[in-house]
Amino acid sequence: MRRRGSATAAAGARRGRLTGPWLAAAVLVVGLAATLLIVAGVRSAQRDNAESVMDQRSDMAEAAVLAETERYSSLLAATAAGLATDNAMTWEDFDAATSPLASASLIGASSVSFVVPAVASRIPAVQQLWRSRGADGIVLQPTADSDEHYFTIFTRGLGGAAAPVGTDVAAASEPANALIDARRMSVPTVSDTYVLLRDRNLPAARQQHSFVFAAPIWPRAADPTFRGWLVLGMRGQDFLNGVLATVSQGQLEGVLRAHNTDGSQPVVARYPAAGEPDLERQSLLDVADREWTLTVRADSGHLPGARSGLPGAVLGGCLTITVILAGLVHVLATGRERAVARVREATAELRVAEAESRRQAGLLGAVMTSIGDGVGVVDENGRFLLHNPAAKQLLGVDDDTEQPDGWQEHYGLFRPDGRTPFPVDELPLMRALRGEHANGVEMVVRNPARPEGIVISVDGRPLDVSAGQRGAVAVFHDITDLRRYETDLAVFAGVVAHDLKAPLTVMRGHCEVAEEALEDGDDARPSLERIQRAVQRMSGMIDTLLAYTTARDAPLNVEAVDLGALVAEVVQDRAGHDPPPEVFVGELPAVRADPAMLRHVLDNLIGNALKYVRPGAVARVDVTATPIGTGPAGTGPAGSGWTRIDVADRGIGIPDAEKPAVFERFHRAHVSAGYAGTGLGLAICKRIVERHGGEIGVDDNPGGGTRFHFTLEVSDMKLRSRKKDDERAREKLERALAERSAMENVRLPGMSALPAADPSAGDPSAARLRSPVPHHD
């Protein structure tokens, strides 16, 4: 027996001696392969690190350029605002106001000047005025053949020779256009790139591409009179060298391009760097009212962490570790029992961790089973990983489908109208798989288990990366009772409004018949007129309340709308003011919106601009649009375009204390001033804009008045032909006229048919019918 046992032990020892070298060789091969992969990974990481450093340096360069340009614009605007308070500015006033700019470290700034406008016939008078205010011996010499000239009155040098006084800035179209834009928009502007007038006498090698900042000087007064501009001359090369010198650290090559109004993109300045650039980043910068492009390049070998001796060190270290591991495997293979014991000791912690994981999984399952909200989780391919009991109860379906394309039909998912199938790409889970956040998406669930249908609100989020798997999670709530309650309220409001408008129509008709029967000078006529005005106010209030209700619940018929055409029609409808208002409409894009609701917004904002005017003043309205890229607060998907529409006026303005509440229901900011209104117009605008996914706000208009702004998504669809729109408009107009004719032909007892209401009476319900707004795709 001892010999048999010894033989067995010897055989085991021989197997160990034979197996050990093979295992060691296998470990050596695997180790070499892993070493090569690690070295490749380190090199890739270095490249990624270079990319990351490049991103950081590019962001720093972009932030530095933006910060400096915004600082220059803000300092110039603040100085202009200070000068606007001085009704009789002199050289001493200008010198005191601009002296802080000399110590403000304005990199690249050459001079700051005070410029005034003057027509040819007024040049001698303007020259005499400013000579009396400290511009001794100034001679205004017009050098441009134009109706209006812009003369430099006072100037201060900032790191360069000051511009000569009396110079006609109109000789250069670039700064002249910037001055015109600044006066019109009442905000600081930046000119196209050009060579400063004072630099044009320098040798070509010393001339730089430059630009100017221009800030209008508008006094805050009941009827402000434009004073002039504060102009800051900038040398592009000096500016870029100073800004990038610290950020670049000699590693970034920078190119700054301006977007001129003629569509060209000239190079403002270049900043050189050593090496052969192989990395490039490009940023679009908003500078005052223009856009600039900053391009930075770098040689990855000159960036920190891009090249080092780490791969060689990793290679040597990994080879050493591999040899050691091979030796250890050989030792372990020849000492089986010892190796088994060590393996068991090493896996003990794994077993404990596995037990803890199972406990945590059980706890999570209990929580998901207990909560009342429905929860669904899918992986990156759309396969369901989890549906808690509350979710299955709400959906009424026990089994899940593996393909997202079948979700709508399998669960019976419809839009809130209950008829339109919900598009799969717009489902919150699918949006979450694309990395978007979806909040409060409403849909109707109707299937054989839920034949009556329920309304649910769904929130979708991408699955947290800590879960170790890509996917998405959705949480949904049953809001059927809430929507039923809101629907009942809306129906009630409609019935009440209808029942109230019917007797108002009868009252208006009786009053008009009675008024026709009265003789001139009859004492009863003023009483009838007061009754008619009261009826009109009541009818207008009812229409406004109905508009406020439907602005939230009415279905959105979103399509491509020609914003310029729509604004033109609203302005045309409002053209009956006396005196005629001054209206400026900039270039407006096509947007995606419900045309009827969007018209309501524009009509309210433009109507307010024409209504809230200082006594005796002429109303002025500016309607402009500015592209803003993606939607506000992440409302637009990545890559979609949004625009900001501004409606500015020169009216009585809104007190700062009232601004936070102007979009609240029934809030009126000018009650004491005697302006009529219901306090619901801006609240309706807010509801409509937010239903379109945008934002609305209000600010002061520089120079006096108010500037309302709201955002909409830009349409990428082609507008439909105007011929089809006109045909559709005529059809709708004919139907509306027929319906109104039928209503007006209803006879009162003992009376003839009611006459048409006077559209000038101010009653929205009595206004003449207009043709529908032509909508264009």
CA angle 626, 627, 632 (to 5 degrees): 105
Instruction: Identify the pLDDT of residue 593.
Output: 92
Looking at residues 509-526, what average pLDDT do you find? Answer: 75
Please name which of 587, 584, 560 lies closest in space to residue 647, comparing C-alpha atoms.
584
Please indicate whether residue 366 or residue 746 has the higher confidence score (pLDDT). 366
pLDDT surpassing 60 at residue 771: no
Looking at residues 22-33, what average pLDDT do you find? Answer: 80
Q: What is the DSSP string of 644-658?
A: EEEEEE-SS---TTT
Query: Measured between alpha carbons, how far is residue 523 from residues 436, 518, 520, 535 in Å?
Result: 69, 9, 9, 20
Largest CA distance in the chain: 144
Of 69-78, 437-446, 577-586, 726-735, the one with minimum mean pLDDT is 726-735
- How sure is the predictor about 204, in pLDDT bands with cuts at 50, 70 and 90? low
Please indicate whether residue 496 or residue 421 has the higher confidence score (pLDDT). 421
CA distance 713 to 694: 8
Q: β-pairing, 471-478 with 374-379?
A: antiparallel
Please name which of 700, 704, 609, 706 lies closest in space to residue 222, comparing C-alpha atoms.
704
Token duo for residue 606? 């433009």
Backbone angles phi, psi at 182, to 5 degrees: -65, -40
CA distance 383 to 395: 17
- 111-135: b (≥16 Cβ within 10 Å) or e: bbbbbbbbeeeebeebbeebeebbb
> DSSP E strands: which ranges in 105-177?
109-119, 148-157
CA distance 646 to 656: 19
Q: Are 188 and 222 in contact (CB under 8 A)?
A: no
Looking at residues 407-420, what average pLDDT do you find? Answer: 85
- How sure is the predictor about 614, in pLDDT bands with cuts at 50, 70 and 90? confident
The 3-state DSSP class for residue 202 equals coil
Q: Are 145 and 175 in contact (CB under 8 A)?
A: no
What residues contact 225, with CB distance under 8 A and at least 6 apart?
219
Give pLDDT tens digits for 300-355: 777 776 666 666 777 788 888 888 877 777 666 666 656 666 777 778 878 887 88
Instruction: Identify the pLDDT of residue 193.
Output: 84
The one-letter amino acid code at 436 reads E
Give pLDDT tens digits for 580-606: 888 899 999 999 998 888 988 998 899
Q: Are 169 and 114 in contact (CB under 8 A)?
A: no
Sign of CA dihedral 478, 417, 440, 401: positive
Q: Return left, alpha or beta for 105; rule: phi > 0 is left, psi -120 to 50 is alpha, else beta.
A: left
CA distance 652 to 438: 41
Q: Are 158 and 101 in contact (CB under 8 A)?
A: yes
| Other beta carbons within 10 Å of 268 | 23
pLDDT > 70 in the chain, percent: 75
Please indicate whether residue 208 or residue 404 has the higher confidence score (pLDDT). 404
CA distance 628 to 643: 5
Instruction: Identify the pLDDT of residue 363.
Output: 75
Token duo for residue 583? 């209206």
Please name which of 519, 562, 511, 567 lies closest in space to residue 539, comparing C-alpha atoms.
511
pLDDT surpassing 50 at residue 759: no
Token duo for residue 223? 């009827």
pLDDT surpassing 50 at residue 62: yes
Instruction: Identify the pLDDT of residue 160.
Output: 65
The 3-state DSSP class for residue 118 equals strand
CA distance 442 to 567: 32
Looking at residues 378-402, what average pLDDT do you find? Answer: 81
- How sure is the predictor about 207, in pLDDT bands with cuts at 50, 70 and 90? low
Give pLDDT tens digits for 38-60: 878 777 777 778 778 878 878 88
- Share the mean pLDDT of the chain: 76
The one-letter amino acid code at 373 reads D
Please indicate whether residue 192 or residue 276 has the higher confidence score (pLDDT). 192
CA distance 58 to 70: 18
- How sure is the predictor about 714, in pLDDT bands with cuts at 50, 70 and 90? very high
Token duo for residue 573? 């409808």
Looking at the DSSP bridge assignments, the partners of residue 450 are 447
Give pLDDT tens digits for 81-117: 888 888 888 999 888 888 888 888 888 888 899 999 9
Please name which of 348, 345, 326, 325 lies closest in space to residue 337, comparing C-alpha atoms.
345
The 3-state DSSP class for residue 30 equals helix
The 3-state DSSP class for residue 1 equals coil
Query: Measured between alpha carbons, how far is residue 277 from residues 49, 246, 298 in Å?
Result: 16, 19, 4
Give pLDDT tens digits for 453-511: 888 889 888 887 776 678 888 888 888 887 777 677 667 766 766 677 677 777 778 78
